[in-house]
């Protein structure tokens, strides 16, 4: 065991309330730690005021905390502060980017995308394609459901204007070669939009090294609060990126027939932002940084390997993904409907996900309507894996009686 799980669990109040919970649904949302909740409480109990516009002490403190959260997030992904836009989350970030291209793309343009995308990465571009007639070009996945550079090169061409790519699929769990894809996309002048919702909680992201144009992630999957996320936008792109939302705090001058915008990131944060959310997310980043993403990866790998080695040998279990780098296992038991199986897990206080995981394209590719999904994180230990395995066997044996 890489991490001291007993010590880590003391940071998560849910284990006090529910000491026997086996939480294996971090890919949907992580559990929430006390330092993050304390940061939210600090804002709501001691400050609770608006930012940027106040001319009194607590408004300054709130503004400082919000802006230093931005700096922390920028540091976390090796961006500059002006490139970090606070949004509601990955879905909001990715829609914002796609909507910008509604005015830019046309019939002769192509968007490269893949069946690995979560709906929040696919649907905004399906909408763009339907409205602009730009063509969606799908990267052919290899036999293991992975994206290869060769397959990407086969469809990349001079008409490619945007490449939309998930860094890690929420069903398959393995890392996609985003850096090489970005390098090749830039050779034809295309912009690359990276969905890092599953990558950010596990893998060190360096937007300079990746040379990313846009990269999105959510706070709630990485120990942060719900309703806050980040859109990284390369500063050279921000100038010509017209805001999608208009309102307070994002303009310089307004007349009856004109408006001028502030610089990024402020022109993209119209209205009162999720101040507490940003402050809470910064506290989550502090904790993750203290634990170390390398340790998170090693810990999750150990749990994943231990579990899959056992799961593979259970007769009747089908595992859909292999070599997950982020502790995700997508599986089914016999022909039992995942929601039926999930009821046995629930009875045993084992929380897993059941359904299509908002990723119907990859499920179809896998030949499944829905699956169960288990995912590991820093608060899981081998006893969680054992309870999970016991529940798999119990579910199989229970439904075989009928």
Ligand X SMILES: Cc1ncc(COP(=O)(O)O)c(C=O)c1O
Which residues are annotated as catalytic? 358
List the structure tokens of 378: 């820093």
Contact call for residue 195 and ligand X (CB under 6 A): yes
∠ Cα 238 243 249 (to 5°)? 100
Q: Could you give the residue ranges of the DSSP H alpha helices within 196-336?
A: 207-210, 235-238, 275-291, 293-311
Contact call for residue 307 and ligand X (CB under 6 A): no
List the structure tokens of 402: 């009928």
Q: What gap in Å lies between CA 277 and CA 280, rounded to an integer?
A: 5
- CB-nearer residue toward ligand X: 33 or 381: 33
Contact call for residue 170 and ligand X (CB under 6 A): yes
Q: Which whole-number Å values give the CA distances from 162 to 89, 133, 195, 306, 338, in the listed order?
A: 21, 14, 13, 39, 36
- Per CB under 6 A, which region of 174-182, 195-203, 292-300, 323-331 contacts ligand X? 195-203
Contact call for residue 91 and ligand X (CB under 6 A): yes
Q: How far is the CB of 181 from ligand X (least distance, A)?
A: 16
- CB-nearer residue toward ligand X: 120 or 129: 120
Contact call for residue 198 and ligand X (CB under 6 A): yes
Interface residue with ligand X, options 32, 72, 118, 353 (CB under 6 A):
118
Residues binding ligand X: number (CB under 6 A): 12
Q: Are 78 and 206 spatial neighbours (Cβ–Cβ below 8 Å)?
A: yes
- What are the b/e assignments for 116-130, b being 16+ CB within 10 Å? bbbebbbbbbeebbe
> Cβ neighbours of residue 189 under 8 Å, at least 6 residues apart?
161
Q: How far is the CB of 224 from ligand X (least distance, A)?
A: 10
Q: What gap in Å lies between CA 243 and CA 238, rounded to an integer?
A: 9
Q: How far is the CB of 330 from ligand X (least distance, A)?
A: 12
- CB-nearer residue toward ligand X: 53 or 364: 364
- Per CB under 6 A, which region of 83-91, 105-113, 129-137, 310-318 contacts ligand X? 83-91
- CB-nearer residue toward ligand X: 195 or 269: 195
Q: What gap in Å lies between CA 16 and CA 270, rounded to an integer?
A: 39
- CB-nearer residue toward ligand X: 4 or 323: 323
- CB-nearer residue toward ligand X: 118 or 161: 118
Q: How far is the CB of 91 from ligand X (least distance, A)?
A: 3
Interface residue with ligand X, options 26, 114, 129, 166 (CB under 6 A):
166
Residues between 339 and 378 with contacts to ligand X, criterion CB under 6 A? none
Q: What is the dihedral angle through the alpha carbons of 189, 118, 325, 199, rounded to the nearest 10 degrees? A: 60
Q: What gap in Å lies between CA 324 and CA 279, rounded to an integer?
A: 31
Q: How far is the CB of 171 from ligand X (least distance, A)?
A: 9
HSE-CB for 77 with a 13 A CA cutoff? 32
- CB-nearer residue toward ligand X: 197 or 392: 197
Sign for the pseudo-dihedral over CA of 313, 315, 317, 322: positive
Contact call for residue 197 and ligand X (CB under 6 A): yes
Contact call for residue 30 and ligand X (CB under 6 A): no
Interface residue with ligand X, options 120, 129, 137, 182 (CB under 6 A):
120
Q: Which whole-number Å values give the CA distances from 75 to 70, 181, 197, 256, 388, in the listed order?
A: 9, 24, 17, 40, 37
Contact call for residue 89 and ligand X (CB under 6 A): yes
Q: How far is the CB of 89 from ligand X (least distance, A)?
A: 4
Q: What gap in Å lies between CA 362 and CA 118, rounded to an integer?
A: 9
Interface residue with ligand X, options 63, 137, 175, 218 (CB under 6 A):
218
Contact call for residue 121 and ligand X (CB under 6 A): yes
Tell me which residues touch ligand X (CB under 6 A). 89-91, 118, 120-121, 166, 170, 195, 197-198, 218
């Amino acid at each position: 065991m890489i991490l001291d799980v007993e010590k880590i669990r003391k940071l998560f109040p849910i284990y006090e309330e529910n000491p026997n919970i086996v939480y294996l649904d971090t890919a949907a949302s992580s559990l929430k730690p006390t330092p993050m909740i304390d940061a939210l409480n600090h804002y709501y109990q001691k400050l609770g005021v608006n930012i940027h516009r106040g001319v009194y002490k607590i408004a300054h403190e709130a503004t400082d905390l919000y802006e230093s959260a931005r700096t922390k997030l920028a540091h976390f992904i090796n961006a500059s502060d002006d490139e970090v836009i606070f949004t509601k989350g990955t879905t909001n970030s990715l829609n914002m980017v796609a909507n910008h291209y509604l005015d830019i793309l046309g019939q002769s343009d192509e968007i490269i995308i893949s069946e690995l995308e979560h709906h929040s990465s696919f649907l905004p571009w399906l909408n763009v394609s339907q409205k602009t007639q730009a063509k969606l070009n799908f990267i052919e996945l290899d036999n293991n459901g992975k994206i290869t550079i060769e397959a990407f090169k086969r469809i990349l061409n001079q008409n490619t204007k945007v490449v939309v790519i998930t860094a890690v699929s929420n069903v398959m769990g393995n890392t996609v070669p985003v850096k090489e894809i970005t390098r090749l996309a830039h050779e034809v002048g295309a912009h690359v939009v990276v969905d890092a919702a599953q990558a950010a909680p596990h893998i060190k992201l360096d937007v300079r090294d990746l040379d990313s144009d846009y990269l999105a992630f959510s706070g709630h999957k990485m120990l942060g609060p719900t309703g806050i996320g980040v859109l990284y936008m390369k500063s050279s792109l921000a100038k010509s990126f017209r805001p999608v939302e208009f309102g307070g705090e994002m303009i310089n001058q307004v007349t009856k027939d004109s408006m001028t915008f502030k610089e990024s990131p402020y022109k993209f944060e119209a209205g009162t932002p999720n101040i507490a959310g940003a402050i809470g997310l910064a506290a989550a980043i502090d904790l993750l940084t203290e634990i170390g993403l390398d340790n998170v990866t090693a810990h999750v790998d150990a749990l994943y390997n231990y579990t899959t080695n056992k799961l593979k040998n259970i007769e009747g279990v089908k595992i859909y993904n292999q070599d997950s780098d982020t502790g995700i296992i997508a599986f089914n038991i016999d022909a039992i409907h995942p929601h039926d199986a999930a009821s046995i897990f629930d009875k045993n206080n084992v929380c897993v996900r059941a359904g299509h995981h908002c990723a119907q394209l990859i499920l179809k590719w896998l030949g499944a309507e829905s699956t169960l999904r288990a995912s590991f994180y820093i608060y899981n230990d081998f006893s969680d894996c054992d309870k999970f395995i016991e529940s798999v066997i119990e579910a199989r044996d229970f439904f075989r009686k009928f």
